[in-house]
Chains A and B, each alone.
Chain A
Amino acid sequence: MEQTYAIELKNITKRFGKIVANDGINLKVKRGEILSLLGENGSGKTTLMNMISGIYFPDEGHILVDGKAVSIRSPKDSFDLGIGMIHQHFKLIDVMTAAENIILGLKGNAVLDMKKVHKDIQELVDRYGFDLDPAQKVYTMSVSQKQTVEIVKMLYRGANILILDEPTAVLTPQEVDKLFEVLRNMRDDGRAIIIITHKLNEVLELSDRVAILRKGKYIGTLQTSEATVESLTEMMVGEKVSLDINRPMPHDLKKRLTINNITCTNEDGLHVLENVSFEAFGGEVLGVAGISGSGQKELLEAIAGLTKLSSGSVIFHSPEGEDIDLAKYDAAQINELGVRHSFVPEDRLGMGLVGSMGMTGNMLLRSFRKGKGFFTSLKAPKELAEKIKEDLDVVTPDIDYPVRRLSGGNVQKILVGREIASSPAVLLVAYPVRGLDINSSYMIYNLLNKQKERGVSVVCVAEDLDMLLEFCDRIMVLCDGKVTGIVDARKTTKEEVGRLMTSHKEEQ
């Protein structure tokens, strides 16, 4: 029997410059079905869905909706085809009510009849078992209520194909159950649902079928009933890739940091770190692995004194043999003590370097307090800038050339170079090679390895498992803000780390 699919992707390819984000991907979803799209970070899940929702346009391939080839050039085209995408970051207006947000931008009578709108929304809400008051203002809502508004908005606009981008990332377990119930109701009502996720337990619990992407390639589709955690993990992380990073054996280990049961909460009151304990030693590289948003950033910030701890302690064992409780110090003092933070955020320049300043100015950021009285000294930063340019081969026309205009590798070298120039005892780095080409990456690895041999304790957060396995001595895995394991990087396998990264509810 010939079956038409609600949406069908044929051979979709999308390139960004040299990077192939999606490579010949095929995907089919039926009406009355929930499909999970599973993959690691950077595997191309969101890119693929953005092509369905009209944000990107595919370079190759076809999209079929209800068996007909369509061309989706804008979010509006996607809307008109009955496709609704719910992004991770909600697009809602805080001072407006749920109902006002839902009807925003729709055509209709010039004068609004809010009573009728409320009634229509209430009907939808009752039909699928949502929990929503149309008259409630968005800014008084919880994250889960806001998500509900987004979903109802799509349904109100007649979406038959719903795409949810990591919908459970911000929800509590109870809210997740509620969401799943609603999604099942919508499936039973004949809508097609695609849910992007990297949580295996959710895939197994909710979906009918699961499609797996890895590094932009389509790996396969399984019936969920035939899938297991092991088979999915294997498909998701794939074979180990050898990178051949020079990794000296750690020697002469000295304890530098003891983290005792730290817990941190974010502004929404959710635990971003929960009872995290570990030790870091001078002379080794401790890798921190985890799906993005599992608490890596918060962990580094907690150590560097940028985030307040709810409980627990961070003890720094200084080279002079003192034990110092870092919670008693602020970020600048912790810096002085020799715990250096080199955080490279996604936009790379955001936290750490000032884009419009040159190298000298950026060096000055760390030393402006020095100098005589009211004046600061430019001499030392200038020398340091020259030295880093020299030692690390930074390609820049001039040390006062705005760093914003330099290539990613050079920016990274300046950032890391500045932090290691002060001979720290602990060096915290996040995503040190993100977006860098191979040569620049090796340059950074060598820099960090040199620090390790000098007896510095390097804590390195990264997303790329292959790199962590080749570069670090030990790997600590975070999942939902909890430590799910600390493994020896020389002995572990990618599958084991991958499993730890996604072992959400197992210990409960």
Chain B
Amino acid sequence: MSVLITFIQKAVMQGICMLFGADGEILTEKSGNLNLGVPGMMYMGGIAGLMAAFYYEKLAAHPNGLVGMILSLLAAFLMAAFGGLIFSVLTITLRANQNVAGLALTTFGVGFGNFFGGSLSTLAGGVGQISVAITGDAYRAKIPLLSKIPVIGDIFFNYGFLTYFAIIITLLMAFFLKRTRWGLNLNAVGESPATADAAGINVTLYKYLATVIGGGIAGLGGLYFVMEYSGGTWTNNGFGDRGWLAIALVIFALWKPINAIWGSFLFGGLYILYLYIPGLGRSMQEIFKMLPYLVTIIVLIITSLRKKKEQQPPESLGLAYFREDR
């Protein structure tokens, strides 16, 4: 029983990283932009958040956890949104190829994270010496009382603030996309920018906002990893391939935020399943780590066989829009 509870908790923790990334990418892709820079933006968000907390705790006389949280949250969001802005300028204004720009952003973002992470380690006095204990603890603070309920408390209320924030953001986004005028317009931009343009929607503005805000949200996934998952420290390349899993999750969720919630927990569970199966050799472990991708491929196969229009990606995904192209 206790193994199962731990497994669920760990799966959720893995999943939340991906959920932030997937939320950001869903918003971005709804505008027709396929931003493969998500893994990079998550690195950028993570390191920016960590640096903000580090310097705050170093410079402030009496560091306060809440202030550290707000500062690191803002830093992570803004830095990753800046990544989204780079992508937007390249692909929307300059109409560069989205795949190339996205992959370049990922390469850049990972390097950016590792460079500043390494520098920060040196500043802090060596690898693994970075400590933002106060902010880290604030992020890790659990819900009082509720988390003490046996089993239910362990499964549902045993997480830090960002976990619930992720779910709230996802729910808000689902509402935004489905029930608001702006959401409808954003969908139109991703489906057919020419139609949206003719209907008087500012296509460029929607694309920029969705991509920049989407980038910022994805960056919170990196922050979550650094603060709550690793407890406020940095390891080079420690984030691993969770960014790519976030993109796979977008496909798995069929571009619907609500699906991304349970999908992220499923992905998280599959991602760490190898730790809970006794007697696995090293090679078998790697095979188990492939499971989330395998599931994504199966979903892709099933949806393309079913050919349901609602389950397809936005129609103009990956294409630049230029009004005078006909």
| Chain B residues with a Cβ closer than 8 Å to the other chain, count | 21
Is A110 part of the binding interface, using a Cβ–Cβ cutoff of 8 Å?
yes
Residues in A with CB closer than 8 Å to B199 are 91, 104-106
- A91 near B195 with CB under 8 A, answer yes
Partner of A104, one of B180, B195, B312, B315: B195
Interface residues of B in 184-199 (CB under 8 A from A): 184-185, 187-188, 191-192, 194-196, 198-199
Is B306 part of the binding interface, using a Cβ–Cβ cutoff of 8 Å?
no
Interface residues of B in 129-174 (CB under 8 A from A): none
- Once the chains are docked, how many angstroms separate the CA of A110 from the CA of B172? 14
Is B179 part of the binding interface, using a Cβ–Cβ cutoff of 8 Å?
yes
Check A91/B198 contact, CB under 8 A, given A104-B185, A112-B179, A112-B181.
yes
- Once the chains are docked, how many angstroms separate the CA of A112 from the CA of B187? 14
- Once the chains are docked, how many angstroms separate the CA of A339 from the CA of B182? 55
Q: In the complex, what residue of chain A is closest to B314 when comparing beta carbons? A: A95
Residues in B with CB closer than 8 Å to A111 are 179-181
Is B201 part of the binding interface, using a Cβ–Cβ cutoff of 8 Å?
yes
- Once the chains are docked, how many angstroms separate the CA of A109 from the CA of B183? 12
Partner of A91, one of B185, B194, B312, B315: B194
Partner of A137, one of B179, B196, B309: B309
Report A102 CB to chain B, min CB distance, Å.
Answer: 10
Residues in A with CB closer than 8 Å to B196 are 104-105
- A105 near B309 with CB under 8 A, answer no
Partner of B188, one of A93, A109, A137: A93
Residues in B with CB closer than 8 Å to A103 are 181, 184
- B181 near A92 with CB under 8 A, answer no
Residues in B with CB closer than 8 Å to A110 are 180-182
Report A187 CB to chain B, min CB distance, Å.
Answer: 25
Interface residues of B in 108-124 (CB under 8 A from A): none
Is B310 part of the binding interface, using a Cβ–Cβ cutoff of 8 Å?
yes
Is A76 part of the binding interface, using a Cβ–Cβ cutoff of 8 Å?
yes
Partner of A96, one of B180, B187, B312: B187
Partner of B198, one of A75, A94, A139: A75
Residues in B with CB closer than 8 Å to A93 are 187-188, 191-192, 195
- Once the chains are docked, how many angstroms separate the CA of A144 from the CA of B105? 46
- Once the chains are docked, how many angstroms separate the CA of A191 from the CA of B195? 25
Is A173 part of the binding interface, using a Cβ–Cβ cutoff of 8 Å?
no
Is A100 part of the binding interface, using a Cβ–Cβ cutoff of 8 Å?
yes
Is B125 part of the binding interface, using a Cβ–Cβ cutoff of 8 Å?
no
Is A79 part of the binding interface, using a Cβ–Cβ cutoff of 8 Å?
yes
Report B180 CB to chain A, min CB distance, Å.
Answer: 5
Main secondary structure of the interface of B (DSSP, over half): helix
Is B200 part of the binding interface, using a Cβ–Cβ cutoff of 8 Å?
yes
Is A108 part of the binding interface, using a Cβ–Cβ cutoff of 8 Å?
yes
Instruction: Write the B296-323 contact mask toward A (1 if CB under 8 angstroms, else 0).
Output: 0000000000000110100100000000
Q: In the complex, what residue of chain A is closest to B194 when comparing beta carbons? A: A91
Residues in A with CB closer than 8 Å to B179 are 111-112
Residues in B with CB closer than 8 Å to A109 are 181
Report A394 CB to chain B, min CB distance, Å.
Answer: 28
- A105 near B188 with CB under 8 A, answer yes
Residues in A with CB closer than 8 Å to B181 are 103, 106, 108-112
Interface residues of B in 175-228 (CB under 8 A from A): 179-182, 184-185, 187-188, 191-192, 194-196, 198-201
Residues in A with CB closer than 8 Å to B192 are 91, 93
- A79 near B191 with CB under 8 A, answer no
Residues in A with CB closer than 8 Å to B180 are 110-112
Report A90 CB to chain B, min CB distance, Å.
Answer: 9
- A95 near B182 with CB under 8 A, answer no
Partner of A95, one of B194, B198, B200, B309: B309
Instruction: Write the A137-155 contact mask toward B (1 if CB under 8 angstroms, else 0).
Output: 1010000000000000000
Q: In the complex, what residue of chain A is closest to B183 when comparing beta carbons? A: A112
Instruction: Give the most central of B179, B188, B196: most A CB within 10 Å.
Output: B188
- B195 near A92 with CB under 8 A, answer yes
- Once the chains are docked, how many angstroms separate the CA of A76 from the CA of B194? 14
- A96 near B201 with CB under 8 A, answer no
Residues in B with CB closer than 8 Å to A95 are 191, 309-310, 312, 315
Instruction: Give the most central of A100, A103, A105: most B CB within 10 Å.
Output: A105
Residues in B with CB closer than 8 Å to A76 are 200
- Once the chains are docked, how many angstroms separate the CA of A103 from the CA of B196? 11
Residues in A with CB closer than 8 Å to B187 are 93, 96
Interface residues of A in 85-141 (CB under 8 A from B): 91-96, 100, 103-106, 108-112, 137, 139
Check A94/B191 contact, CB under 8 A, given A104-B196, A137-B309.
yes
Q: In the complex, what residue of chain B is closest to A347 when comparing beta carbons? A: B326
Beyond A94-B309, A104-B188: 7 further Cβ-contacts under 8 Å? Answer: A76-B200, A91-B192, A91-B195, A91-B199, A106-B181, A110-B182, A137-B309
13 contacts between A and B (CB under 8 A): A76-B200, A79-B200, A91-B192, A91-B199, A94-B191, A94-B309, A96-B187, A104-B196, A104-B199, A106-B181, A111-B180, A111-B181, A112-B181
Residues of chain B touching chain A, judged by Cβ–Cβ distance below 8 Å, are 179-182, 184-185, 187-188, 191-192, 194-196, 198-201, 309-310, 312, 315
